[in-house]
Structure 1
Amino acid sequence: MATPQTPYDAVLHAARDVTRLDSALDAEMLGAALLGSVYAVAEHDREQAVREFVTGFLAATSRRRSAAATTLRAVFAALVPDAEGAARVRPGAYAPSWAGQLGRVRVTGAWAYGDVYGDQTSYLATFAYDDEEEGGPEHALVALVDHNIGITKDVFVGGPAGRIVEQAREICTEDEFTWFRTEDPARMHAEVSRHLAVTDDLAELPAQGSLATDRALVGARLAALPGPTPPAGPAVVPPPTDEERTRLVRAFLDSPEATRFGLPEVADGELASLHFCLGLLLDHAASFPDADPMRWSPMVAELFLLDWVHRRAVLDMDDAAMLPRVLRAWAAYAARQRGLSQSAAARTDEAITEMVPEFARLYSTGERRSPATAAVAQLMADGVDPDDPEALNAWIEANRHRLTDDPA
């Protein structure tokens, strides 16, 4: 066969045996995998890139009459029904008997499960075709939402559906730090779609998983769920206002957790460090897509103590000595506020304790400081008052070679 001349020809060549597949599900999975290559290489708005590709494909193949071409057109139209021309696509005269089942599924169940800390939530829904013999077996969609980075991190469509549901249930039953529940399909639709929209616009996709190959089929299955209902409150929790931050700090300092770590009785000379450290905790929480100052876990503590604080803050020795202590107290307080078990709270505390030596090393080396943070740290080390414009300008001029990439 001649070398394909266009991307559309290449796709047709890759799907030349589509009519030999056994079911609509097999065909939809093949179609999604083919569209996954478009999704993976798009530089932005990947969902729109796939939609535009399908629109172009349908236009370019409108006069093709081979069974493979007409069948693949029907597959793509079922996967991306909002592509221009998709509504006019009909299976050809020589299409497989299962072509009439493309996209004709109903939801048979929905669940959610995740960790008690709120780092990640997996949403699981099962679907069945109107005609299982032609459409294919009941299958499951699993979408992993990572709340620490605010994206749908991975998706998967496969089966057997019943086994996937039971495996998830068993894993959560055996792990005290996880939960499993039935889920409102409309809520699943809303949460997965909201986070998937962020994923679609990433410059670089998560490295592992089946996100690209299954994305188009996931979109089609989400569309089969009930439409998202308007949220009772804001979809994204906003950071606390200054007044709310003040109330949070006061309530914390009155708590038994703060008392246990001796924070209400710190010496006057340590008060500035105490409140600076508390401000850093709140600033870090505000940096998350779903800002919640009470959501702390071993993972969130690691992101804060071993990464974020070194890139975003300049600590003096008093601050560095105070910060792990404040973090342990705040994490314990937050765990109680969220109703976490003592073992879950202890797990976070143990993780923080284990991180302290690495935190101290990173503080000492400064290897994770951003250029801006490193510059401010050097300014302070040189004894320059940042509120003195003349001294600040003189320091910048003297250190310009260290602040820019231009040696001149």
Structure 2
Amino acid sequence: MATPQTPYEAVLHAARDVTRLDSALDAEMLGAALLGSVYAVAETDREAAVREFVTGFLAVTARRRSAAATTIRSVFAALVPEAEGTARVRPGAYAPAWAGQLGKVHLTGAWAYGDVYGDQTSYLATFAYDDAEGGPEHALVALVDHNIGITKDVFVGGPAERIVEQAREICTEDELTWFRTEDPARMRAEVGRYLAVTDSLDELPAQGSLATDRALVGARLAVLPGRAVAADAGTRPPATDEERSRLIRGFLGSPEAARFGLDSVADAELPSLHFCLGLLLDHAASFPDADPTRWSPMVAELFLLDWVHRRAVLDMDDAAMLPRVLRGWAAYASRLRGLPAAAAHRTDEAIEEMIPEFARLYSTGERRSPATAAVAQLMADGVDPDDPAALNAWIEANRHRLTDDPA
């Protein structure tokens, strides 16, 4: 056979044996994998790229009459029904017996599970075809990473019952995880809004089945009650100034603050204490769900070993106090959230283990952003940022270090 000349011809060639598959589920998984190649290489909105590809494919193949061509057209129409031309797709004369079941599934159960810290939530739903001829009951699993703010991975497969039981058993054996029955409408909204962010990424997460299963996941989510939501819908806004003040007052009067000696610091240390507390709240505000009480070993690592070096200029007093403030705040936040003692202890241990690396990064400045490095140098040179004349003179004298153009 000649080498396919267009992407559409390449897809037709790859789908040449689609009619030999055993079920509608197998065909939908094949179709999703083929569309996954489009999703993976798209440079802009990946979901839109897949929809546009299906629109073009249906237009180009409208006169094809082979069993493989008419069947894969039906598969794509079931996976991406919002593409133009899907309403005109008809099964071919030699369609497989299962072709009438493409996309005809109903929900049989929905659950969610994750870690008690709120770093990640996995959503799990099971589906069955309206007619057993369509294929076996199968499961959809979507992993939402709240620290990155994306749907990090998705998977469709089976056996559905075994997947559900494995997830339940894992969570039962680990006190730092949870498992619950989930509202299907909530699952659709949560997975959908984070998936919308994933669709817009310049680069997809490296591992998993996100690209190959994305189209099938979208089709299954559409079966759930509710409707698709915008990427920023339902996100928690950053704390207001009043809320920040209330949280800080509550913390300074807490047993956790007393435990770390933060309830009665010397007057000279107060500026550093409040600066460090402000950094913790600023970091929380940088997440899509800006909860200032959500701290975990991973969130603490993102803050102490990365974010603070890129976003803040610390003097020696600040650097000396910050780990202690973080330990106190994380313990306080764990109590407010009602986390198990083991969870709070694990976070505290993790922070303590990070302190040497934090100190090293502070001393080397290797993770400072150019802007942060410039401000740090300005302060080291004794320049008052509030003195416009002194600031302008310093900028002129150091322009060669602040720009790529020495002129």
Pick the TM interval, shorter chain. over 0.9
Partner secondary structure for residue 16 of structure 2: coil
> Would you say the 8 A contact 1:366–1:374 is kept in 2?
yes
How far apart, in 1, do the equivalents of 2:224 and 2:206 lie? 28
Cα displacement (A) at 1:407: 3.0
Aligned to 1:167: 166
How far apart, in 2, do the equivalents of 1:254 and 1:108 lie? 49
Cα displacement (A) at 1:205: 0.6
Aligned to 2:23: 23
> Would you say the 8 A contact 2:78–2:103 is kept in 1?
yes
Aligned to 1:6: 6
Cα displacement (A) at 1:311: 0.2
1:207 maps to 2:209 = no
Cα deviations by residue, 1:272-331 (Å, 9 ceiling, x for unpaired): 000000000000000000000000000000000000000000000000000000000000
How far apart, in 2, do the equivalents of 1:228 and 1:89 lie? 25
Provide the alpha-carbon RMSD of the alignment.
Answer: 1.2
Aligned to 1:321: 320
> Would you say the 8 A contact 1:186–1:229 is kept in 2?
no
How far apart, in 2, do the equivalents of 1:354 and 1:319 lie? 19
Aligned to 2:398: 399
Aligned to 2:370: 371
Aligned to 1:78: 78
Cα deviations by residue, 1:333-379 (Å, 9 ceiling, x for unpaired): 00000000111100100000000000000000000000000000011
How far apart, in 2, do the equivalents of 1:44 and 1:154 lie? 19
> Would you say the 8 A contact 2:127–2:139 is kept in 1?
yes
> Would you say the 8 A contact 2:110–2:184 is kept in 1?
yes
Aligned to 1:353: 352
User: What residue identity is the alignment partner of 2:26?
Assistant: D
Aligned to 1:186: 185
Aligned to 1:58: 58
Aligned to 1:281: 280
User: What residue identity is the alignment partner of 1:153?
Assistant: K
How far apart, in 2, do the equivalents of 1:77 and 1:229 lie? 19
How far apart, in 2, do the equivalents of 1:407 and 1:75 lie? 59
User: What residue identity is the alignment partner of 1:376?
Assistant: V
User: What residue identity is the alignment partner of 2:56?
Assistant: G
User: What residue identity is the alignment partner of 1:373?
Assistant: T
How far apart, in 1, do the equivalents of 2:69 and 2:19 lie? 9
User: What residue identity is the alignment partner of 1:107?
Assistant: L
Cα displacement (A) at 1:404: 1.1
Q: How does 1:63-142 map to 2 (within 5 A)?
A: 63-132=63-132, 134-142=133-141
> Would you say the 8 A contact 2:188–2:228 is kept in 1?
no
> Would you say the 8 A contact 2:116–2:339 is kept in 1?
yes
Aligned to 1:331: 330
Aligned to 1:245: 244
| TM-score normalised per structure 1 | 0.98
Cα displacement (A) at 1:230: 9.2
User: What residue identity is the alignment partner of 1:239?
Assistant: P
Aligned to 2:148: 149
Cα deviations by residue, 1:12-70 (Å, 9 ceiling, x for unpaired): 00111111111000000000000001000111110010000000000000000000000
Partner secondary structure for residue 222 of structure 2: helix
Cα displacement (A) at 1:405: 1.4
How far apart, in 1, do the equivalents of 2:245 and 2:349 lie? 28
Cα deviations by residue, 1:84-114 (Å, 9 ceiling, x for unpaired): 1112211101111110010010010000000
How far apart, in 2, do the equivalents of 1:399 and 1:59 lie? 60
Partner secondary structure for residue 224 of structure 1: coil
Aligned to 1:362: 361
How far apart, in 2, do the equivalents of 1:61 and 1:151 lie? 35
Aligned to 1:158: 157
Aligned to 1:265: 264
User: What residue identity is the alignment partner of 2:95?
Assistant: A
Partner secondary structure for residue 47 of structure 1: helix
How far apart, in 2, do the equivalents of 1:323 and 1:101 lie? 60
> Would you say the 8 A contact 1:187–1:228 is kept in 2?
no
Cα displacement (A) at 1:229: 9.6
User: What residue identity is the alignment partner of 2:124?
Assistant: L
Structure 2 segments unaligned to the other structure (5+ residues)? none
> Would you say the 8 A contact 1:142–1:155 is kept in 2?
yes
- Report % sequence identity: 87
> Would you say the 8 A contact 1:187–1:229 is kept in 2?
no
> Would you say the 8 A contact 2:31–2:72 is kept in 1?
yes
Partner secondary structure for residue 393 of structure 1: helix
| TM-score normalised per structure 2 | 0.98
How far apart, in 2, do the equivalents of 1:174 and 1:407 lie? 61
Partner secondary structure for residue 154 of structure 1: strand
How far apart, in 1, do the equivalents of 2:336 and 2:228 lie? 28
